[in-house]
Chains A and B, each alone.
Chain A
Amino acid sequence: DGGITQSPKYLFRKEGQNVTLSCEQNLNHDAMYWYRQDPGQGLRLIYYSQIVNDFQKGDIAEGYSVSREKKESFPLTVTSAQKNPTAFYLCASSFRLSTDTQYFGPGTRLTVL
């Protein structure tokens, strides 16, 4: 089955810790994205990548970092510099940027204790 997987489903972090969220896709998509979802707000773009070894900041990149060493994988690190990290994080992918439909993973809920 083709799709996008995210792990873990739930993640708890103590203040001051960095955590890494996993995102893998087997759809052969070139573009991958990370979004953050908070109650009452639309999805907000954190980072996106069009090709391997290249990625761009989205609207709310501060306190986050990413890597794209493989086409299939786009992990997101939430650093201690992110002031309000508790949120629902969604990974998506598409064939190309912009006009192509984005398909989403199941999400990771991060809670800072």
Chain B
Amino acid sequence: EDQVTQSPEALRLQEGESSSLNCSYTVSGLRGLFWYRQDPGKGPEFLFTLYSAGEEKEKERLKATLTKKESFLHITAPKPEDSATYLCAVGTDKLIFGTGTRLQVFP
């Protein structure tokens, strides 16, 4: 059965304290891995798409990487405005979403 697991469920960081979020998956026929950011009460905002193992993408303080079994979202020197839930989704014949990591960055 296709499955996507995100860890940790919640993460509290002090401003400037770098860390990583994990998205592990077991799917047949990966067609892409997607990262989204979601603020409370809003729709997910697209961040990155990764298609093949070894691929990396960066945007400001965020960097996404992909292996054959998992993806990491690295957050470097986070700020309070990075606080949100980060969702991972794997594309097969549809998108399969993880349950997200709720990130809180405090000053």
Query: A residues bordering B, Cβ < 8 Å?
Result: 4, 6, 40-45, 48, 58, 88, 90, 97-99, 101-107, 109
Contact = CB atoms under 8 A, between A and B. Distances in A.
Contacts of B32: 99, 101
Size category of the B interface is 20 to 34
Candidate in A41, A102, A103, A107 with the most chain B CB atoms within 10 angstroms: A102
Contacts, number: 55
B98 A42 contact: yes
Contacts of A44: 97
Contacts of B94: 45, 48, 58, 97-98
A44 B98 CA distance: 10
Candidate in A40, A43, A45, A106 with the most chain B CB atoms within 10 angstroms: A43
Nearest to B92: A98
Contact of B43 (A40, A48, A90): A90
Nearest to A59: B94
3 cross-chain pairs, A with B, having the tightest CB-CB distances, nearest first: A42-B97, A104-B43, A43-B97
B31 A102 contact: no
A107 B40 CA distance: 11
14 contacts: A4-B43, A42-B98, A43-B89, A43-B95, A90-B43, A90-B44, A97-B93, A98-B92, A101-B46, A101-B49, A102-B46, A104-B44, A104-B46, A107-B42
